[in-house]
Amino acid sequence: MQLSEQELRRREEKSELEKLGINPYPSELFEVNVNIKDILENYEKQKTDYKNISIAGRLMSRRIMGSASFAELQDESGKMQIYFRRDDICPDEDKTMYNTVFKKLLDIGDIIGIKGYVFTTQTGEISIYVNEFKILAKSLKPLPIVKETKDEQGNVVSHDAFTDPEQRYRQRYVDLIVNPNVRETFKKRTYLVNTIRNFLNDRGYLEVETPILQPIYGGAAAKPFKTHHNTLDMPLYLRIANELYLKRLIVGGFDGVYEFAKDFRNEGMSRFHNPEFTQVELYVAYKDYQWMMDLVEEMVEQIALKLHGTTEVKVGEKVINFQRPWKRFTMFEAIEHFTGVDISKMSEEELKATAKQLNVPIDDTMGKGKLIDEIFGEKCEAQLIQPTFITDYPVEMSPLAKKHRSKEGLAERFEAICNGKEICNSFSELNDPIDQRERFQAQLELGKRGDEEAMVLDEDFLRALEYGLPPTAGLGVGIDRLAMIMTNSNSIQDVLFFPQMKPEKKAVDPSVLFAKAGVREELIPILINLGMTNLEDLANVKTSKLFNDVCGMRKKMKLKDIKNPTMEEVQSWVD
RNA sequence: GAUUCCGUAGCUCAGUUGGUAGAGCAUCUCCCUUUUAAGGAGAGGGUCCUGGGUUCGAGCCCCAGCGGGAUCACCA
């Protein structure tokens, strides 16, 4: 690893501090009695409370002017100017703490604790007057620091912003330090989850945990990640959903259960898809999907209010209003609304013809349900910006949903669509075990025909249904999708702290290099132990010395079974 | 997967028909006691993503690869 000049300098500063008897990474706690947000909000009202403060954070900028300096301190709650004066930091003859430690050995990015008092500068900025400071952690890597100014309208303008998406996602910690709006986004995500949790707890539903490692994956149509348990010597799957487990709990006698679940799907990635994502699933006994729609409306409206203080949320150029009640369309109505075609009574052949007319791509494997779904997806979904419930999906697409109480071929199912994307999915749960078995069997048929996402038959789940599942309404809400809308984020990566990325760099594995040069496999560990990392290292020492070293290391590593190389052999590596 | 754009200093980015590698910030030295993108004077810092090719000469042109973004298609 090649260190930059600035990194080397910071390492030297670290040893300078140690030479001065200052531990750059002290162990003892640093008492903090206030944060920046608190000062900004309350100092003007209650100045006497801020005569003796102790605060810690990261040094974000410095303006040194001879024997006085201004700097900026950032803690979790915000940023504030701090003021240093040499003769206050160092009241005695010895000016080391200011002249050397502060001016020379401190850098932007260092974490410090300060004691002092709050005051207002001549230019009217609330600042902290530093009486003493302490280094709490030395930072060895320079931060991509963002400077900010305000234009005439008072808008904050960033300069040299840290914007490279790759760097931001790979080094989220840096992103969080220098881009305060990123912290806000993730706080909102947590408030969103908390709001849902409180909402469900208030209604008496029980938060539960169910297996992530599952012997049979189910509850959704998706490709799973597969792994293996050594002791049991069996395959296991990372869950694609937790639906079937939560329904087992309803069978067990709980009237309402929910779980915030990380689910895993081995599928494509995009700005809407990450291999692992979060859903909250909720199941409530003795309810149906109509009831669940009311719950979703109320819950999501409450989220908007909690996060924004209003039901109106700005997303891109649009304003989305989550105020109840939301528009409700059956799928047929939605299609008729957007295409002018009433497909509710059409046969499979007529549907095919309609799809072709509407330029909806189809293929011969598609049945009636799939055709309807395609037409909807192609012609309607993207146009639904304001939150809208779409109800009554084709039953073929919903193998875990109850058949519609009155409409042939449909299921009691709804999705809420918002900003052109599904944010939740819900149905009256299928609780007829015989029907459920048949639906699974139909899925098996699809699987045999090569549908990789077809569901697998879960005998234990069917057994649970046979004991009796009360009529139940179920719901799944995509937390990431909802968080994207609620935080005005364009990509799922912006609402996941650590989105999935390709590995950073192919580490050049020396053993591969050596193997290519014709080194016997068993000798490679010896070379690595000798500190050789590439072929140049081999070429840089005399062949005879290399030969001696290898034989010596072989002995040291007690590799009796390995034959020493010959001189010719060693020579051949370098050639 | 398809299309398309990008990769130059620690950061943000310029770089002309192909002719010695540039700016601002950051860093270092000096000056400066209320500054605020502080200021003034000076200095250091580069595998121009990698590997080939064309050329007297490549950051620039060509080919291949790596990494990333955006858009589109399937899944939430």
For the segment A20-43, what is each residue's pLDDT rounded down to a tens digit?
999 999 999 999 999 999 999 999
Shortest CA to C1' contact from A279: nucleotide: B76
Contacts of residue A211, defined as CB under 8 A and 6 or more positions apart, other chains included, come to A239, A245
Assigned token pair, A486: 């609620």
Tell me the residue length of chain A.
Answer: 575
Let me know: does A291 contact A238? Beta carbons within 8 Å. no
Let me know: does A81 contact A128? Beta carbons within 8 Å. yes
**pTM given for the model:** 0.84
Distance between the alpha carbon (CA) of A12 and the C1' atom of B51, Å:
37
Give the Cα separation of A516 and A18 in Å (integer). 46
pLDDT at position A158 is 72
Structural element, H or E, at residue A178: helix A172-178
pLDDT at position A558 is 40
CA-to-CA dists, residue A220 to A401, A425, A570, angstroms:
11, 11, 58
Indicate if the alpha-carbon torsion angle A489, A492, A493, A496 is positive or negative: positive
Distance between the alpha carbon (CA) of A331 and the C1' atom of B5, Å:
39
Helix (H, G, I), strand (E, B) or coil at A336: helix
Nucleotides on strand B with an atom closer than 7 A to protein CB? Answer: 1, 9-13, 24-29, 31-39, 44-45, 47, 66-76
**Residue recorded with tokens 């095919």:** A352
**Which of A208, A244, A213 has its CA nearest to residue A229?**
A213
Assigned token pair, A290: 């109509």
**Which of A37, A46, A61, A53 has its CA nearest to residue A128?**
A53
Shortest CA to C1' contact from A142: nucleotide: B10
Let me know: does A296 contact A476? Beta carbons within 8 Å. no
Shortest CA to C1' contact from A5: nucleotide: B45
DSSP-assigned letter for residue A403: B
Please list, residue by residue across A25-36, b when 16 or more beta carbons sit within 10 angstroms of its beta carbon and e when fewer do.
Answer: eeeeeeeeebbb
What torsion do the CA atoms of A187, A189, A194, A195 make, to the nearest 10 degrees?
110
DSSP-assigned letter for residue A267: S
Q: One-letter amino acid identity for A424?
A: C
Which residue places its CA closest to the C1' of nucleotide B10? A142
Q: Other CB atoms closer than 10 Å to residue A232's CB: what's the count?
A: 9
Helix (H, G, I), strand (E, B) or coil at A391: strand
Give the Cα separation of A410 and A395 in Å (integer). 5
pLDDT at position A505 is 52
Which residue places its CA closest to the C1' of nucleotide B68? A166
Distance between the alpha carbon (CA) of A396 and the C1' atom of B3, Å:
34
pLDDT at position A131 is 94
pLDDT at position A400 is 94
Assigned token pair, A397: 């697409």
Residues of chain A with pLDDT under 70: 1-2, 151-155, 450, 503-575
Distance between the alpha carbon (CA) of A14 and the C1' atom of B9, Å:
24
Distance between the alpha carbon (CA) of A308 and the C1' atom of B7, Å:
39
pLDDT digits (tens, 9 = 90+) for A480-532: 999 999 999 888 988 999 888 776 654 344 445 555 566 665 555 455 444 44
Distance between the alpha carbon (CA) of A65 and the C1' atom of B32, Å:
5
Shortest CA to C1' contact from A374: nucleotide: B74
Shortest CA to C1' contact from A272: nucleotide: B76
pLDDT at position A523 is 59
Shortest CA to C1' contact from A81: nucleotide: B36
Distance between the alpha carbon (CA) of A368 and the C1' atom of B76, Å:
23
